[in-house]
Amino acid sequence: MNSLSVPFVSIIIPAYNASGTISKTIEACLSQSYSKREIIVVDDGSSDKTQEIVSGYPVKLIRQDNAGPAKARNTGWKAAAGEIVVFTDSDCVPRADWLEKLIFLFDSPEIGAAGGTYGIENPNSLVALAIHSEIQYRHSSLPEYVRYLGSFSLGIKKNILEELGGFDESFRIACGEDADLTYRIVNLGYKMRFSRDCVVGHYFPTRLFGFVRQQFWRGYWIMKLLAKHPAKLGKDDYSKTRDSIQPPLFALILALTPLIFIESVLIVWVILNAVALYLQVTVASYAVKSTGNRRLYILIWMLYLRGFAWALGSLAGILKFKPFTNRLPS
């Protein structure tokens, strides 16, 4: 490796009402095999015992009024002393060698950012296991050099954060703000590396309603991302053409539903639903094959429901951000 082989690293953890998991996150970060680091927790205006819990650990705690994870991450990296700033989340539990393996990816000046994959901390929940399996399906096909990285396991050179101004704080929830930042890193001419060896465990949603609600807001904020980066969506290695097809497909199904008493409309409606279900089969089959758990065929129905959430969220986002008429600055 070059002169950055042993850089000082700052780990930034945004936290909002994270009392149930933040201790595990901090303890995992304190136990990293890579010891040349500091840990900064930014409490984003929590109303639970997050601040009290964090205060009991040898980490730097910064408190701000609630403004969302993008703002919290920016507050954190601006106070960081590290040459490389690494982000994870308050419901994540990094493996002991996570940081060491992540920093190893910065082996040349052209590497601007690096990231890794998810483990799962609550595999006893079928819903959580299904969500994790769907993400693993996406990660299984990622190349070494990618055009998108998620903020749950994301290292960025601090000088690049300074040049770009960090995360766009107008993304108010944890959706789209990491894609926006990593798109801009690539636009600067830097490369980003991905490794499945850099593992961060995660507590995934355990209730179907919580997952569907989360996906509604994903559809909503993705429209803001589309307005900023119209050429990127579906072409960033993580999102697929299948993702771009589904919101209009499910929106059409919803639009036709009140008219299914008309025979010709009913036939089209049935065909569209069959296509919508078929689009989920590959992911579910991967999940079953990779885990040996046939119950994961539930993914077909979970992702089918997600399609409607995406459609409704996208429609709300189109009304708000007007991605096909207005273009937001990148």
Question: Using the 8-state DSSP alphabet, how is residue 267 labeled?
Answer: H
pTM: 0.94
17 plus 125 within the same structural domain: yes
Q: Does 245 share its domain with 184? A: no
Mean pLDDT by 10 residues, the chain (330 residues): 72 98 98 97 98 98 97 98 98 98 96 98 98 97 96 98 97 94 97 98 97 97 94 83 93 98 98 98 97 98 98 97 79
Residue located via tokens 């493996």: 95
Q: Give domain status of residue 227, yes or no.
A: no
Residues 147 and 10 in one domain: yes
Residues 131 and 57 in one domain: yes
Query: Do 139 and 275 have their domain in common?
Result: no
What b/e readout covers 241-265, taking b as 16+ CB neighbours within 10 angstroms? eebeebbebbbebeebeeeeeeeee
Residue 14 sits in a domain of what CATH number?
Answer: 3.90.550.10
In this structure, the number of other CB atoms found within 10 A of the CB of residue 79 comes to 14
Among 183, 206, 229, the domain-final residue is 206
User: How many CB atoms are closer than 10 A to CB 42?
Assistant: 27
Residues 201 and 250 in one domain: no
Q: Count of domains in the chain?
A: 2
* Residue 130 covered by a domain: yes
If asked whether residues 195 and 94 sit together in one domain, one would say yes
Range of the domain at 307: 241-321
Question: Is residue 328 one of the residues assigned to a domain?
Answer: no
Task: Answer yes or no: are the C-beta atoms of 40 and 76 closer than 8 Å.
Answer: yes
Torsion sign (Cα): 38, 41, 96, 53: positive
Q: pLDDT at position 209, please? A: 96
Residue 218 maps to a domain: no
- What is the amino acid identity at position 96? A
Residues 189 and 286 in one domain: no
Torsion of CA 155, 159, 161, 163, to 10 degrees: -150
Cβ atoms 161, 77 nearer than 8 A: yes
pLDDT the model gives residue 3: 43
If one counts every other C-beta atom within 10 angstroms of the C-beta of residue 37, the result is 19
Domain identity same for 301 and 193: no
The answer to the question of residue 100 being in a domain is: yes
Structure confidence at residue 17 (pLDDT): 98
Question: Is the residue at 236 inside a domain?
Answer: no
What pLDDT was estimated at residue 1? 45
70 vs 52: CA distance, rounded Å: 22
250, 179: one domain: no
156, 15: one domain: yes
Phi and psi at 202, nearest 5°, equal -145, 145
- Does any domain span residue 158? yes
The residues pairing with 14 across neighbouring beta strands, listed in sequence order, are 42
- SS3 category, 258: helix
The last residue of a domain, from among 186, 206, 226: 206
| 330 in a structural domain | no
157 and 261 share one domain:
no
